Structures are given as structure tokens and as C-alpha cells.
């Protein structure tokens, strides 16, 4: 009896040990710092067409460009099976934090690195971080109004809506911008993002430049004078779709994908421009690019520009211990900015101009 | 006789030798359980300590003014959580307002022979299934089904009773009231399950005695059974309150996340947990510290609820 129960206990213990060891093994290879482990598995891959070699890269950051990054990395992996890139869209703030801590191979952010972060990075790693723009995007006003298909908003209109000065759809200022359209006598429900986001940063960056009465500043999250907050692009979209009379801001690619009605807005030159990748690209035309590529155009003077447009950046280390990683990363970025252009446009992002791509490639040369 | 006794002594010694490992295992088991028990406390202290440590810059910067300030401005780095504390307490209170009568009613209904067991068992089972639904599903259901469905009714209430401050806002797509209703459904299983257990465990003599003295069923329930089970019922309510205060996902999705403390229940609001869920991803520096400060306040709030629960339950047990 006792020996039997002891035996049973022993087998139980053995199983337990086996299970816990299995757990330990499965947990082990998750740290991306370990430069040695993953490449060994991938050597069997066919020689890469683009000279990508083999590497496993991990990145984290901005959610705004996440759809295009994931598409690029997946497409690149199809052509170069040796290079595997995982991207976690944890948000720009967390992306920068992980990049500074060195737990990822690259970071991604919607707002250029702050001077203090640069200084901190330099103190820790002994060199400047490398920041390169990857793509641009626009933020649009999406709305839900029965019978109104192409809403136009003048500066007074959208500044008034976001600051709470205009509260009814049939406000004279909105009627004036939409001649011949019958606007309902309905309260405006403004929907903003409740989570911190690069989309909010671009949106408020524009409001700060364009609206004299906007006092909340520009940031990934701000203190909103009016409206209700919803989490994520999907939350804002859901709320707009369900609430007649709602208007909110979402990123263009998201609005396009979900078939939301988007308002055309007045730009700095007084022209009413509907959102489009061309309009977004026009916002960056003729701008001089600073050395750190931190180009921000909160309110483009170009008459063809859709004014709420911004860039998004990747953050790279100046030196990679595993040279294969550095080389692979360079190859991926180059591929994304050239071959990947079509995929970006398809998703509603603004591809970078050729001249900017050349500059980015020069900058990438610094990566060791 | 004499020949047997040494034999039995031998077997005793034998058996004690045999059972030596058992004793060792007992010892090990004892220590393992002690370590487990202590580690619960250690983990709690550890969490509190780390919260405090990260929250420290915010505590130094804002002090207790954090509790009364209504600004949450990441641009100028001024933070206060009065609207969130207000929203947390009000949403939990409203949820209890709906869930307690309903939950206790269901518990009484399920225990007092109104229905044959064949019908009661499935109802009880369904109530317990409600507890198994993840809160994100409640949130999605709230967004896509529940809130749009109740909107017309709330608009009618607003038109008719708009002069009452609580109903003074025209209900939009998201509001505290709708979020509280969903919260009420979420905490219902807790109240029902524990109240029901209390009611079933009441001594049958109570019921028989009441009937024997000529009390009606109604009198038996309201005058004898519910008061007798009150400590359990209040315990269930307090547990539910604890859940309501800390509920995150569903509220983040439904409450409207507006940083304003509004007297009207139909206006969008915010809670501490929803604020943390929303802003943590992109927060750094003082904003992150402030979110941790908020978490600390939430923890203290939950602790107060639990202490209150202990006190109330203790008092009612003395009455019995």
C-alpha cells in the first residue's frame, strides 16, 4: 500500500519536474539581446535575393504605422526567408523606452526623439541614435451624418468642433462651408482617442498650429476640452459608426479600410482638400530635412497639401554586435522604402520621396 | 498473551521506522505551506513597495492635491485624479444600486422553493456562466449591442426628467450610466452565488419555525430568512463592490473616458482603472508616476472597501 502510493508520488513528481523543465525551456529563448541563438536555425534558408542573409530581428513601438510595418516585414520575409522580423505595436512611448533599454533591435516612434532622450542615449551607448523616417500618414475627420456624403469643414469649423465652440451640426459656420447641403439640427458628438497615440500627436500638432483658440497643446495624449474618449482607432471607429451625429479623428489608412465617411478640410492656403495619399505627400514637398530627419510639418503651406500629415520613424542603434543583424536591418529598410512603396500606398500611407530615400540610405551607412 | 505483546511492540517499532519518510514529508509539507502562506503577504508588500517607488515622483510633485485636482494634462505635466476617483465610486455605486436588489432577489427566488429543482439548477448554472464571460466581451457587447439599444430609452428619460441634475445631459454614445449597467450585470453572479449559498445554509428550523408560528411566505423571507443571512449577503455585496471598483477593460471601453466629474449620469466619465488602461502604453516620466499613484489610490480604495466589509459582516454576525 505505502510502497504503491510512494511510487505514485514519485511518478507524479517526475511528471512535475518534466513539465516545469519543459516550461523553462520554452521560456528561455525570448530575450532579443541574445545575438547568437536564432541565426543557427535559419542557415538552411536559400541564399537571399536581396543579400539579406539570415537574422531574427525584433522591434517595438508606434501603432500608427504598425499595419504597413507588419505588411512590409511579412512580404520581405517571403522573399528572404532567412530574415524574420517581429514587430510589437506597443505604442511609441513604450517603443522608445524599450529602444533606450536595449531590449529590442529597433524602435519605432511617431514623434521624433526628444533632445533629452538623445542625450540619455548618447550617455549610455556613446553615440547618437539613428532615426530614419519610414512613411508618412494623414489623420482624417471621420463622421456619421445621415444623408451627408461629402462634408466640408473650414478651419473655423473644425477648430470650433474640437474646442467645443461649435456644438450643433446646423451651426451657421458649418452651413456656410457646405452650401446646398441640409445639415441636421443635431448635437455634435466629438470622439477622441482615450489612449496615448501617435495619431493624437499628429492631430493635436496640427490643431496647435492651425487653431488660435486651441490651448491644450500637442502631445500623444492631451486634456481634451470636449468629447468622449475611445480606445484605439477601432474604438473611435466603432463609436462613430454607432452614433449618429458623431465626428472623430482616425488615421487615413484605418478610415479607408473601414469605409468611413471622411471630411474634406481647409488647408493653410484656404483650399478645401479631401484626404488622399497624394495630398499627404504634398504636405512634405519642398520642405528641408533636418540632420536628424525630425521633419514635422504641422500645417503645410502647399496649396495642394492635406494639412494633417506627419512622418513616422524607426530608431536604430549606431552599432550592432551581431553584424548580420545590422546588415539585415539595412536591407529591410532599403527594400521597404523602394519595393515596399506599392504596399504602403495600397494601405493608405504616404511613401517617401525618392530624394528622401537617398538621404535615408546615406544615414543607414552609419550603422555598423 | 505474553507471546503476543513483544510481537505487537515489534510491529509498532517496525511501523514507526516504516513511516519515517511519511513524517519527513509531513515536515516538508508543513514548511511548504508556511512558505506559500507567507509569500502571499510578501507579494502584496512587494507590489505595494514597487507601486510606491514608481509613484514617488508624482507623490512628491502633487501630494494629496492629486486627489482633488481635476486636471490631467500630459502637455504641461499637471496631474490630478478627482474625476477618476469620482467616476470610480459613482460607477460602482450605480452598479450596486441595480445589482443588489436583482441579485438578492434571484438568490431568494432560487432557494425558497418557488420552482422545482429541475428549473432552478439551469438558472443557477447560467448565473455562474455569467461570471465566466471575460470583461472584454462585456465591453464589446456594451459597445455594439447594449449601449445603442438603451440609447432611445435614455433619451426619453432625459427629455422627461432632464430637470433632475442626474439626467441633465443628452445621452451620447458613451456614458457613465450605461457603463454602470454593464458593470451591474458583471457583478451580479458574485452577489447571487454567495447570497444563494448563505440562504441554502440557513438552518431549516428557522424556516419551519416561522411557518409554524403562522408567518406567511413573504414574512418568512423578509423578516426571518434575509435578516438571518444578512452577513453573507453583505459579504457578497462587498466582494461585488471590490470587483466593480477595480473593473478595467469593460469600463475603459464604455465609460467615455472624459476627464470631467459631471453630476449628470448621462455624461461620459472616467475611472482610475480605465485611465491606467488607456494611458499606460504611451506614458513615461511624471505621467507614468502619476498613473502609478492612481493605482496606489485604487489599491487603498479597495482596501477600505474590504475593511468596511469585514466590519459590517462582523457587526451583523454579532447581532445574530
A138-282 shares the fold of A13-136+310-364: yes
Alpha carbon of B297: minimum distance to chain A alpha carbons (Å): 20
- Alpha carbon of residue A342 to chain centroid: 18
Chain B residue with CA closest to A223: the answer is B73
The confidence band for B294, taking pLDDT boundaries of 50, 70 and 90, is very high
Burial of A88 per CB tally in 10 Å (0-12, 13-18, 19+): middle
Kindly state which CATH superfamily the domain A138-282 is placed in: Periplasmic binding protein-like II (3.40.190.10)
Cell of A284: 512634405
Contact B282 A92 (CB under 8 A): yes
The predicted model gives B40-48 an average pLDDT of 93
Domain B65-319, CATH 3.90.550.10 — does that match? no
Contact B253 A229 (CB under 8 A): no
Residue A286 sits at the vertex; the CA angle it makes with A282 and A290, to the nearest 5 degrees, is 115
Q: CA-CA distance, A193 to A55, in Å (whole number)? A: 36
Residue spans per domain, chain A: 13-136+310-364, 138-282
Task: Check pLDDT > 90 for residue B34.
Answer: yes
The confidence band for A48, taking pLDDT boundaries of 50, 70 and 90, is very low
The predicted model gives A174-183 an average pLDDT of 88
pLDDT for B126-142, tens place per residue?
888 888 899 899 999 99
The confidence band for B18, taking pLDDT boundaries of 50, 70 and 90, is low
Q: B157 or B20: which carries more pLDDT confidence?
A: B157
Q: CA-CA distance, A209 to B9, in Å (whole number)? A: 97
Query: 3-state SS of A263-288?
Result: CEEECCCCCEECCCHHHHHHCCCCCC
Q: CA-CA distance, A165 to A170, in Å (whole number)? A: 13
- Alpha carbon of residue B8 to chain centroid: 58
Residue spans per domain, chain B: 4-61, 65-319
Q: What is the pLDDT of residue B310?
A: 82
Backbone phi, then psi, for A209, in 5-degree steps? -80, -30
Q: CA-CA distance, B242 to A157, in Å (whole number)? A: 45
Residue labelled with grid coordinates 427566488: B109
| ipTM tops 0.90 | no
Check CB contact of B252 with chain A, cutoff 8 Å.
yes
Q: What is the pLDDT of residue B17?
A: 65
- Give me the torsion for CA of B133, B137, B142, B144, rounded to 10°: -140
Chain B residue with CA closest to A90: the answer is B281
Cα separations in angstroms, B100 against A208, A352, B185, B233: 48, 59, 10, 9
**Where is mean pLDDT largest: A32-41, A357-366, B133-142?**
B133-142
Q: What is the pLDDT of residue A94?
A: 81
The confidence band for B259, taking pLDDT boundaries of 50, 70 and 90, is confident
Kindly state which CATH superfamily the domain A13-136+310-364 is placed in: Periplasmic binding protein-like II (3.40.190.10)
DSSP state of B201: T
Q: B282 or A48: which carries more pLDDT confidence?
A: B282
The predicted model gives A75-97 an average pLDDT of 87
pLDDT for A193-224, tens place per residue?
988 888 898 999 999 999 999 988 888 889 89
Contact B278 A6 (CB under 8 A): no
Q: CA-CA distance, A327 to A78, in Å (whole number)? A: 18
Which A residues in the span 238-267 are in contact with B, Cβ-Cβ below 8 Å? 238-239, 242-243, 246
* Global confidence as pTM: 0.79
Contact A243 B71 (CB under 8 A): no
| Beta strand residue intervals within chain A, DSSP E | 55-61, 83-88, 106-109, 130-143, 152-153, 189-193, 228-230, 246-251, 261-262, 264-266, 272-273, 309-316
Amino acid at each position: 500500500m505505502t510502497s504503491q502510493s510512494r511510487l505514485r508520488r514519485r511518478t507524479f513528481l517526475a511528471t512535475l519536474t518534466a513539465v516545469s523543465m519543459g516550461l523553462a525551456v520554452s521560456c528561455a529563448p525570448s530575450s532579443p539581446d541574445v545575438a547568437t541563438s536564432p541565426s543557427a536555425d535559419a542557415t538552411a534558408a536559400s541564399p537571399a535575393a536581396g543579400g539579406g542573409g539570415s537574422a531574427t530581428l525584433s522591434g517595438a513601438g508606434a501603432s500608427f504605422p504598425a499595419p504597413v510595418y507588419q505588411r512590409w516585414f511579412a512580404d520581405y520575409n517571403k522573399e528572404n526567408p532567412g530574415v524574420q522580423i517581429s514587430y510589437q505595436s506597443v505604442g511609441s512611448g513604450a517603443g522608445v523606452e524599450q529602444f533606450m533599454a536595449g531590449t529590442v533591435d529597433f524602435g519605432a516612434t511617431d514623434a521624433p526623439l526628444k533632445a533629452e532622450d538623445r542625450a540619455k542615449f548618447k550617455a549610455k551607448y556613446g553615440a547618437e541614435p539613428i532615426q530614419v523616417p519610414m512613411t508618412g500618414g494623414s489623420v482624417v475627420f471621420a463622421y456619421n451624418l445621415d444623408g451627408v456624403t461629402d462634408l466640408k469643414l473650414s478651419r473655423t469649423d473644425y477648430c470650433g468642433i474640437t474646442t467645443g465652440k461649435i456644438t450643433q451640426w446646423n451651426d451657421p459656420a458649418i452651413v456656410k462651408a457646405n452650401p446646398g447641403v441640409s445639415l441636421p439640427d443635431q448635437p455634435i458628438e466629438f470622439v477622441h482617442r482615450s489612449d496615448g497615440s501617435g495619431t493624437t500627436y499628429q492631430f493635436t500638432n496640427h490643431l496647435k498650429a492651425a487653431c488660435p483658440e486651441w490651448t491644450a497643446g500637442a502631445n500623444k495624449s492631451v486634456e481634451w476640452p470636449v468629447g468622449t474618449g475611445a480606445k484605439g482607432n477601432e474604438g473611435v471607429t466603432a463609436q462613430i459608426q454607432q452614433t449618429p451625429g458623431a465626428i472623430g479623428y482616425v488615421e487615413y489608412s484605418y478610415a479607408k479600410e473601414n469605409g468611413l465617411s471622411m471630411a474634406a478640410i481647409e488647408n493653410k492656403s484656404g483650399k478645401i482638400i479631401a484626404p488622399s495619399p497624394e495630398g499627404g505627400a504634398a504636405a512634405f514637398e519642398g520642405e528641408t530635412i533636418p540632420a536628424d530627419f525630425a521633419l514635422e510639418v504641422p500645417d503645410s503651406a502647399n496649396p495642394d497639401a492635406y494639412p494633417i500629415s506627419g512622418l513616422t520613424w524607426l530608431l536604430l542603434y549606431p552599432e550592432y554586435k551581431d553584424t548580420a543583424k545590422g546588415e539585415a536591418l539595412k536591407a529591410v529598410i532599403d527594400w521597404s522604402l523602394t519595393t515596399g512603396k506599392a504596399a504602403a500606398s495600397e494601405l493608405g500611407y504616404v511613401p517617401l520621396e525618392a530624394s528622401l530615400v537617398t538621404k535615408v540610405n546615406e544615414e543607414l551607412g552609419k550603422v555598423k | 498473551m505474553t507471546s503476543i505483546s513483544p510481537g505487537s511492540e515489534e510491529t509498532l517499532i517496525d511501523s514507526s521506522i516504516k513511516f519515517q519518510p511519511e513524517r519527513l514529508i509531513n515536515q516538508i509539507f508543513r514548511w511548504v505551506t508556511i512558505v506559500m502562506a507567507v509569500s502571499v503577504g510578501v507579494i502584496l508588500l512587494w507590489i505595494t513597495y514597487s507601486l510606491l517607488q514608481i509613484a514617488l515622483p508624482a507623490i512628491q510633485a502633487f501630494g494629496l492635491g492629486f486627489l482633488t485636482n481635476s486636471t490631467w494634462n500630459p502637455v504641461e505635466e499637471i496631474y490630478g485624479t478627482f474625476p477618476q476617483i469620482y467616476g470610480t465610486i459613482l460607477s460602482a455605486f450605480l452598479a450596486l444600486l441595480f445589482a443588489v436588489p436583482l441579485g438578492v432577489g434571484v438568490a431568494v427566488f432560487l432557494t425558497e422553493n418557488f420552482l422545482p429543482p429541475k428549473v432552478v439548477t439551469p438558472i443557477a448554472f447560467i448565473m455562474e456562466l455569467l461570471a465566466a464571460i471575460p470583461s472584454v466581451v462585456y465591453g464589446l457587447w456594451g459597445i455594439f449591442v447594449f449601449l445603442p439599444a438603451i440609447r432611445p430609452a435614455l433619451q426619453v428619460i432625459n427629455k422627461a426628467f432632464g430637470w433632475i441634475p442626474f439626467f441633465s445631459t443628452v445621452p451620447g454614445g458613451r456614458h457613465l450610466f450605461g457603463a454602470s449597467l454593464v458593470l451591474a450585470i458583471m457583478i451580479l453572479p458574485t452577489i447571487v452565488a454567495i447570497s444563494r449559498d448563505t440562504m441554502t445554509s440557513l438552518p431549516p428550523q428557522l424556516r419551519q419555525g416561522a411557518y409554524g408560528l403562522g408567518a406567511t411566505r413573504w414574512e418568512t423571507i423578509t423578516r426571518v430568512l434575509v435578516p438571518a443571512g444578512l452577513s453573507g449577503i453583505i459579504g457578497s455585496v462587498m466582494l461585488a463592490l471590490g470587483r466593480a471598483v477595480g473593473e478595467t477593460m469593460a469600463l475603459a471601453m464604455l465609460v467615455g473616458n472624459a476627464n470631467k466629474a459631471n453630476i449628470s449620469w448621462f455624461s461620459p466619465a472616467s475611472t482610475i482603472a480605465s485611465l491606467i488602461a488607456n494611458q499606460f502604453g504611451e506614458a513615461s516620466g511624471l505621467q507614468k508616476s502619476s498613473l502609478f499613484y492612481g493605482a496606489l489610490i485604487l489599491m487603498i480604495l479597495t482596501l477600505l472597501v474590504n475593511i468596511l466589509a469585514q466590519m459590517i459582516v462582523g457587526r451583523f454576525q454579532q447581532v445574530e
